[in-house]
Amino acid sequence: RACPKDQPAGGGGADEKLGEITHHTLRVQGDPRLMAFPNSTAYLVLTSQQQLFRTDSEGAQWTEVDLAASTRDSKIGKPVYLAEHPYDTHRAFAYTDRDALAFTGDRGATWTRVRALPARANGLHVRPLLDFSAADPDHLLFVGGTECPGCHTEVWVSRDNGAQWRQLATHATKCLFARTREFTALPADAVVCTGLARTRGEQDEARADDRAVVRVYTQPFRDSSHHEIAPDAGCRVGEFHMHAQLMLFATTCTGELGGDETLQVHVTDDGRTLHAARLPPGARVAPDAFTLLPAQAGGVLLDADGGHGWGQLFASSSNGSHLHRVLTHTNRGALGAVDVERVDGLPGMLLANRVDNADALGAGVHKRLRTAASWDGGRSWHALPPPATESCADCALHLFGRATGGAPPGAGAAPGVLIGVGTVGTHLGRYPQARTYMSRDGGVTWAQVRAAPTLHALADHGALALLAADATPTST
């Protein structure tokens, strides 16, 4: 029910009908992926069984999207990949099992086929398949490819929402528009790609002499002219990300005398020169055993796997030139999930779970986790105080995070308000015995709001808190 514009003091009168609480369920085949259109009531759900559903009533009613009927093309196929447009909240794209691309400009109400798609999607799992420009929502980047085996990627760009395409590059391993709302050092249409130095032959079979390069295309809609940016000698480029005013590259490096390979993070703030983010003396990070996390003030957090399910957390300077250790024995999951959370809306606040008995871990020994909070970007850490009603000697509040199977505490919709699931004691207890807690002062004090674990969300700038039982159906 929409709130009245003029709300009398003390709320509505006795005769005011608040309406009945309703419960709606969408049953699908396969694993669902939800995509929201910001500032609207419209959502899309794509399942692993190639079903696409849409609602424009925040989930009260769902309809299955028939792309063949909507596009009037019986050969378009079933959707397998969904891409949201980060710079136009009305647009989305769906790629199908018949190598076709469909587009919606009205939050999924209608769909049209992109007729001029120049190639099929690449078979080398290079992602993202589609990328979008912050300069113009009609500018698209598509990473297609030739048929495997013996295949390679092809990078195409369009300046008219897919009506016409121009091939920009081949043999790429990742491509993005280099201009974001925060990274503005390069021209508006610039594209950055990692890929092989060679541009001939197959890409799905590695060669001993293959060399990875970073190419920056400054005018991709006109020609393929570019400049290369290179890491330190002895380092080869792997993954890269855009974050705030930085472009970050994960590189694998060997020393002058050989030896084991280590991870080195290289950064650029101008798109032309790369410099290594220096680790503290003696610190080493193994390749493929790290997680990059966003941080405030333009920096980055890097959690490096230390073995046995724990890691070390490093924070960078604002320009990415140095990394310093801010926390040891951070809790890590088997697939790289890390119990470290940046609290949106509260600059400088971090929540992390530490393995208290890291030195004793082994066969039959389980982790003892304790939650720590920082309000100054990791410079100092403190235990979370328990609610006044649950205080005890040497007790603190400990919260579940991503690596412990819970929903991470969040505050984005209402700065200063946090909701989390956890336990009170000397360490984090088991999830079935957990309760739901809320803080209204940025984590300084906490109160229990539900004597059970819940899924939770905040809305309307914190005026509305939604709590739903995590393991049982609910209509309240």
| pLDDT score, position 257 | 60
Asked whether the bond before 415 is cis by omega within 30 degrees of 0, the reply is no
To which residue do tokens 């674990």 refer? Answer: 453
Residue 385 · residue 445 · CB < 8 Å: yes
**DSSP assignment letter at 227:** E
**DSSP assignment letter at 71:** H
Ramachandran region of residue 394, left (φ > 0), alpha (ψ -120 to 50) or beta? left
| pLDDT score, position 104 | 98
| pLDDT score, position 258 | 63
Residue 329 · residue 306 · CB < 8 Å: yes
Residue 248 · residue 276 · CB < 8 Å: no
| pLDDT score, position 196 | 94
* pLDDT digits 0-9 by tens, 428-473: 999 999 999 999 999 999 999 999 999 888 877 777 888 888 877 6
Tokens standing for residue 389? 């009603």
Residue 179 · residue 245 · CB < 8 Å: no
Burial state string for 28-66 with b = 16 or more CB within 10 A and e = fewer than 16: eeeeeeebebeeeebbbbbeeeebbbbbbeeeeebeebe
Sign of CA dihedral 105, 111, 112, 114: positive
Per DSSP bridges, beta strands 43-47 and 32-36 are antiparallel
| pLDDT score, position 412 | 60
The amino acid present at 234, given as its one-letter code, is G
Tokens standing for residue 288? 């493929």
Cβ within 8 Å of residue 121, ≥6 positions away: 81, 95, 99, 129, 143, 144, 145
d(CA 212, CA 230): 9
* pLDDT digits 0-9 by tens, 409-424: 765 667 888 999 999 9
Query: What is the DSSP code string of 284-304?
Result: ---TT-EEEEE-STT-EEEEE
d(CA 247, CA 262): 20
Q: Which residues of the chain fall short of a pLDDT of 70?
A: 1-19, 21, 256-259, 287-288, 294-298, 407-408, 410-413, 473-476
| pLDDT score, position 234 | 83
Alpha helices in 2-84 (DSSP H): 67-71
**DSSP assignment letter at 248:** E
**DSSP assignment letter at 384:** B
